[in-house]
Amino acid sequence: MGLMIDGIYHAEDPGPDTSEDGKFQRQKATIRHWITAGGPFTPDPGRYHLYAAWNCPWAHRALLIRALKGLQDPITVAYARPRRTPEGWVFDAEGDYADPELGVTALHQVYARAPQPFTGRITVPLLWDRETRQPVSNESADIVRMLNDAFPGPDFAPESLRDGIEGWNARIYRDVNNGVYRAGFARTQAAYDEAVAQVFATLDEIEAHLATSRYLMGESFTEADIRLFPTLARFDVAYHYAFKCNIRRLMDYPNLWAYAREIHAMPGVADTVRFDIYKQGYFSPSELRNPLGIVPAGPVIDWSAPHGRDQSPA
């Protein structure tokens, strides 16, 4: 992934951040400005440009809220190539993986334009402001909430439900979104065992919850569902195999599998999903997980199968 220190990019990747006991520890985002009416970053159509990568679940959150809010035209997007190089996330000169906004060849070149010299990993998503010519945020959770609150369209985090949404968000991030990475990047058996047990304990609880609830917050489709979906979309094609999260598949959960297919069928959502690219990314060469970089042919999964959730659960 590479690392930038005081605005200077270093291609040497120190590898996953792990503690002495082998547990994976995710780095915190540090560019966290906020879009709000009357502030320095206002919600003007055409002002913002999103840097994303198809296979990154954190970028997928931002792509989902952009699609579900109908912001495809007001907020443009550039997709990095599925596999990183020593330069990190990179772009072609033209085509599907080009950046028509700044014409950069690597994402660290955008981070280098931050007013304060950036130190940290070069990650997606990154939201760019055309007016001030600087990055706005590289925190996916903030980007999702900003786009929801600042721009017109459906409200996926209404004030009346925010306490419940925040509760789900915290649990889903800890035990599912980041939980699969804690399992996949664990450096000891004990760290893996703890992480994978938490992943499936939480999925088991969500499966039971969805037996009587249409979405995580009852009848309301919310930000919590948006933040869960990227992990579900990648589970059977990537995490089950590449990250050893193989106690069960998503397809083994009747309620979760139907719930995931219902979200996938929502207008605009399927356009944010690329199962083929997920495999390219998660099965890229890795000394620890996939030394030869061989991408598996399967599994074959029919996400277009009827989800049967046209009526709320009893």
Q: Which of 9, 48, 56, 245 is catalytic?
A: 56
How far apart CA 168 and CA 250 sit, in angstroms, is 19
Evaluated on CA atoms 185, 196, 200, 304, the torsion sign reads positive
DSSP string of 47-115?
-EEEEE-TT-HHHHHHHHHHHHTT-TTTEEEEEPPSS-BTTBSB-BSSSTTB-TTT--SBTHHHHTTSS
Contact between 222 and 156 under an 8 Å Cβ cutoff? The reply is yes
Contact between 210 and 259 under an 8 Å Cβ cutoff? The reply is yes
Contact between 98 and 107 under an 8 Å Cβ cutoff? The reply is no
Q: Across-strand partners of 50?
A: 77, 127
**Cis-peptide into 125, omega within 30 deg:** yes
Q: Which of 181, 192, 259, 278 is catalytic?
A: 181
Distances, alpha carbon 189 to alpha carbons 125, 182, 195, in Å: 31, 12, 10
> Is 181 tagged catalytic?
yes
Q: What positions carry a catalytic annotation?
A: 56, 181
